Structure 1
Amino acid sequence: MRLFAALYPPAAAVEHLDDFLAPRREAGTDLRWTDTEQFHVTLAFMPEVAEHLVEPLADALAASLSERRPLDLRVIGGGAFPNAAEAKVIWGGLEVGDDDPAGDSLTSLARTVRLTASHAGAAPQGGPFRAHLTVARSRRAFEATRWLRILEAYAGPAWIADEVTLVASHLGESRGRRPRYEVMAQVALGG
């Protein structure tokens, strides 16, 4: 099964971002906008995990994250993958609170989650961690500078990320062929 480990923003942060994006969605009908219930920050993506490994993976995450403290985060600004000139993904950036201005603790959390998943046999994929929350996708590459200028103006409310959620992603099962997400486990930071 396809799994990912993620941080989910609380309802107030999701609503704030949704309110900001609502009028812009009408101007970007060529984009596939992320459903608000699917807003998340992926820490590790695991494309093929045997079902019998899910529980041991959740247990391993609980053990490895028991000493991690919650993070003070907010969505701010944005960017595009792979770049603004040939964008296929538009995303909101993440800022870690004043106690970690470089965002090292978020990168370190992702590293811990990926290492734990690897040791549990879940084989995470992906390049270097880039903290982001996907807001829209496109099937074809497009020039995204105007969207990045819009996102530059966004600064969401602060929120506490105090748990990592392990999610199964079921592709093409729901209406519009968007993935359906199923929570497999929630692991508290700091035990």
Structure 2
Amino acid sequence: MGQRMFVGIRPPAHIREHIAEFAAARPDFPWINEEQWHITLAFLASVPDARHDELIERLADGLGRQVSPLVTVHGAGCFPNPDRASVLWLRIAELSGSLSALATSARHAANKSGSTPDGKRFIPHLTVARLKRPVSATRWLRILDTLTTDPWEVNEVELIGSYLGEGPAGRPRYETVATFQLVPPATE
């Protein structure tokens, strides 16, 4: 049996604090816990136990060659659509570098190590709410659309174990398994 994992980016503390302040002013919104905020690069439903070390080595090799992108929160969206939304998220805009390159590298490393990632198209986003049943989200999206953050440099990527039902209110509990440093951008 394998372990549920994902390769992701956790926003830095000052960005989480900014989003948390925005959230505190809107207590009627179905926010998920701040500890669960992340940008998923690759979701791995079942990493074989015997492949953990190989996955970590391949991620270190591939991600260790990627340049740190500069990103910001700008805009909002939802899955699957605004009329029947079940997940609300903040859009992550790339100012320089490429989150898509990080996602491609992470997915390639996972495939090579025998840990097949999901086949979903990569959309850079930070999930902030999960709804118990699909709803029309137009009002909430308008509110989320007003949130922007200062830019931040993504310096590291994490391999995170996900333990369903072990977190607050029956949510998943996340545990960092490994951290991978990215290449600093070139300075002129």
Structure 1 gaps of 5+ residues are: none
Structure 2 gaps of 5+ residues are: none
1:116 — aligned with what? 109
Please give the residue correspondences for 1:32-111 in structure 2 after superposition, counting only pairs within 5 Å.
33-97=31-95, 99=96, 105-111=98-104
1:27 — aligned with what? 28
CA contact (8 A) 2:66 2:101 kept: no
CA contact (8 A) 2:160 2:174 kept: yes
Equivalent residue pairs, number: 182
Deviation readout 1:32-87 (Å, 9 max, x if unpaired): x2111211100000001112211211110111122211111111211110011000
Identity %: 40
Q: SS of the counterpart of 1:70?
A: coil
1:11 — aligned with what? 13
1:147 — aligned with what? 140
Q: SS of the counterpart of 1:58?
A: helix
CA contact (8 A) 1:16 1:157 kept: no
Q: CA RMSD in A?
A: 1.3
2:152 — aligned with what? 159
1:172 — aligned with what? 165
CA contact (8 A) 1:44 1:110 kept: yes
TM-score (norm 2): 0.92
CA contact (8 A) 1:4 1:166 kept: yes
State the 4+ residue runs in structure 1 displaced beyond 2 angstroms: none
CA contact (8 A) 2:73 2:91 kept: yes
1:174/1:127 CA distance change after superposition, 3 Å: closer
Select which of 165, 173, 186 maps to 2:179.
186
TM-score (norm 1): 0.91
Q: Which amino acid aligns with 2:134?
A: A
CA contact (8 A) 1:92 1:151 kept: yes
- Give 1:175 shift: 3.7
